[in-house]
């Protein structure tokens, strides 16, 4: 295996007001750096400037009253998050995100909403390299039935989750541990560079999205379906939500 498989990695996750990356808002986020020195995390509680719907609060436990009392203004939190991601990405550190189509798109939309440069603007290119355990699992274990939520994959690859998921920092730690298990299960991943894996994931995500959208059409399901680009449109334009499962 190449030396990159031991890190560093920067894990990223958000909790939000809903499931549409184009319109929903970040209410909490976590970045976790894992390298030879250990694991260091930083978290943000964000006042999104809108009411947090009750169904979203039921998932992650964050309420409107909570963020209004203790949350950071969104422009401050988003700038801090984007600055850390940009520094790591510019240095070649892989960003590890479960269902990156959602979190990366959501962050780009939020930065635009609050008049801040996007990751694409800051880097002068699309964000990357990104490693997405969801895309990797779909590509390398295509025939396995069932859903592929983070919890499902943690159970399948026997990743311990001593704390309940759906808290940003807990989900990031689980995602980083899941990447370790995927590297063990599929050692061929380590024979490619992070940049090569990023390009490979783009191809496999597109293949999955085409099949997913064809199945939706055959079933007569409405809605935009999955965007063909991963982790975000190449031109930085808004993208559609991507279903998990």
pLDDT band (50, 70, 90) for residue 243: very low
**Residue 111 DSSP SS3:** helix
Q: Are 245 and 149 in contact (CB under 8 A)?
A: yes
Radius of gyration of the chain (CA): 17
Per-residue pLDDT band at 3 (split at 50, 70, 90): confident
What is the DSSP code (8-state) at residue 125?
A: S
Give the pLDDT confidence of 90-99 residue by residue, as tens digits. Answer: 999 999 999 9
Answer yes or no: pTM beyond 0.75: yes
% residues pLDDT > 90 (the chain): 86
The pLDDT confidence band at residue 244, using thresholds 50, 70 and 90, is very low
Say if residue 237's pLDDT is above 70: no
Q: What's the average model confidence in pLDDT over 7-13?
A: 97
Least confident of 36-45, 140-149, 160-169: 160-169
Model pLDDT, residue 133: 98
| Count of C-beta atoms within a 10 Å radius of residue 220 | 6
> Can you give the pLDDT at residue 196?
97
Q: Between β-strands 9-16 and 26-35, what pairing exists: parallel, antiparallel or unpaired?
A: antiparallel
Mean pLDDT of the region 38-47: 96
Burial tier of 144 (Cβ tally within 10 Å: 0-12, 13-18, 19+): exposed
């Amino acid at each position: 295996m190449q030396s990159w498989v031991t890190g560093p990695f920067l894990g990223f996750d958000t909790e939000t007001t809903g499931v549409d990356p184009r319109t929903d808002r970040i209410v909490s986020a976590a970045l976790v750096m894992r390298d030879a020195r250990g694991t260091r995390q930083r978290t943000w509680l964000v006042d999104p400037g809108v009411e947090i719907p009750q169904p979203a609060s039921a998932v992650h436990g964050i309420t409107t009253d909570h963020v209004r009392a203790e949350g950071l203004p969104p422009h401050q939190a988003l700038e801090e998050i984007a600055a850390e991601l940009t520094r790591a990405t510019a240095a070649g550190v892989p960003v590890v995100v479960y269902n990156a189509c959602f979190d990366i798109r959501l962050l780009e939309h939020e930065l635009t909403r609050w008049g801040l440069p996007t990751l694409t603007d800051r880097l002068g290119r699309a964000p990357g390299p990104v490693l997405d355990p969801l895309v990797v699992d779909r590509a390398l274990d295509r025939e396995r039935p069932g859903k592929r939520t983070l919890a499902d994959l943690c159970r399948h690859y026997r990743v311990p989750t001593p704390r309940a998921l759906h808290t940003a920092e807990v989900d990031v730690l689980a995602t980083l541990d899941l990447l370790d298990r995927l590297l063990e299960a599929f050692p061929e991943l380590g024979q490619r560079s992070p940049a090569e894996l990023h390009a490979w994931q783009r191809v496999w995500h597109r293949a999955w999205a085409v099949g997913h959208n064809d199945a939706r059409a055959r079933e007569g399901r409405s809605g935009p379906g999955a965007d063909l680009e991963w982790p975000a449109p190449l031109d930085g334009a808004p993208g559609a939500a991507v279903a998990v499962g």
